Structure 1
């Protein structure tokens, strides 16, 4: 019989390292600096993205797999597309490998990146024909 410590953090991980399969354990050679250096050699935006991924993950094995997956995209789609995908994901606060994969799959990285904030730091509303300015007076005739 195995007894596990109860975790009270919602959606948190609890595990005993001894009960994990070898593929689930953190790699012995896990070095965040290695991934950051590899990302930095590609572009500062990729480096910044990888730093955020490492900070966002609770467990080292999660960060290792995400970083490896993200950096491997460069060999499949090229560094330029990876840089743009990292910019897109960062702009939307998405720091994980599936987000990068989805951006690349949908070719969003090839579209111009819209900034989400105006000069005052407020969220910008996208231009759309159904969104009217605050001084719009064409509503209903009196």
Structure 2
């Protein structure tokens, strides 16, 4: 043979002869057995060819998204706080919880920190609107001016708006645990003493009760400032009475 094409043609011819050759000790041939016994049970090949995959583990964040290779994919909000297993292929990102598939996304490419969000994964009160800067700013404004300033600063740090979402969400959710007043005071304290405050700074202030200590110090300073101080004339004796 002088080419693979000629060789393959000869192999196909001999293979056909081999499959149609009658068995020596029973009826039929390899081809007839295939047609009668195997073909009826065969299933169609998958629509997509097999792809190599990589498995990762991720935690579902408060915004019901997971971060995989600097991209964000939504997960049903019921799984917030849980760890999930993630199968990553060239085309898809598939999420499993305790070996059960809970969702799948087309894999994101391009600029980092993009979001793939399925609206059905949102709580009902979130499905009316998507995450954006305006929504975070309105949420911050409902807490206080200092919180609004700090959230605005978080957005100013990033060229891509979506990169600030996780930090803003974590920051504003602190009001659920510590209350709006304490969060507002903590933001004020951070703005006064830290050049670029963020979620971790505010969380540390609240956990260590620094916002309460600072408030008490301010109250004490105000009392000292307005205390009644009697001069020497007041204690000059009865003649001054």
Which TM class, normalised by the smaller chain length? Answer: 0.5 to 0.7
Deviation digits for residues 60-81 of structure 1 (CA, Å, limit 9, x no counterpart)? 3331001111110001100111
Q: CA RMSD in A?
A: 2.7
**Whole-angstrom distance in 2 between the partners of 1:62 and 1:21:** 10
In structure 2, which of residues 169, 179, 189 is the aligned counterpart of residue 68 of structure 1? 169
Instruction: Provide the C-alpha distance between the structure 1 equivalents of 2:145 and 2:73, rounded to a whole number of angstroms.
Output: 33
Alignment CA distance shift 1:27-1:51 (3 Å): farther
Q: Within 2, Cα distance between the matches of 1:49 and 1:112?
A: 18
1:86 Cα deviation from its structure 2 partner: 0.4
- Does 2:152 match 1:51? yes
| 1:27 to partner: Cα distance | 6.2
- Residue equivalent to 1:136: none
**Contact 1:42–1:79 (8 Å) recurs in 2:** yes
Structure 1 residues 1-142: aligned runs within 5 Å? 20=71, 22=73, 25-26=114-115, 29-91=130-192, 92-112=194-214
Measure the CA separation in 1 of the matches of 2:190 and 2:70: 34
In structure 2, the gaps of 5 or more residues are: 1-68, 75-112, 118-129, 218-241
CA distance in 1, matches of 2:149, 2:172: 13
What do the CA deviations read for 1:35-82 (whole angstroms, capped 9, x no partner)? 111111111111111111111234433310011111100011001110
Query: Which string of whole-angstrom CA distances, capped at 9 and with x for unpartnered residues, describes residues 116-139 of structure 1?
Result: xxxxxxxxxxxxxxxxxxxxxxxx
Name the structure, 1 or 2, with higher relative contact order (CA <8 Å, separation 6+): 1
- Indicate the structure (1 or 2) with the bigger Cα radius of gyration: 2
TM-score, length of structure 2 as denominator length: 0.36
Alpha-carbon displacement from aligned partner over 1:12-51 (angstroms, at most 9, x marks no partner): xxxxxx9735265336633111111111111111111111
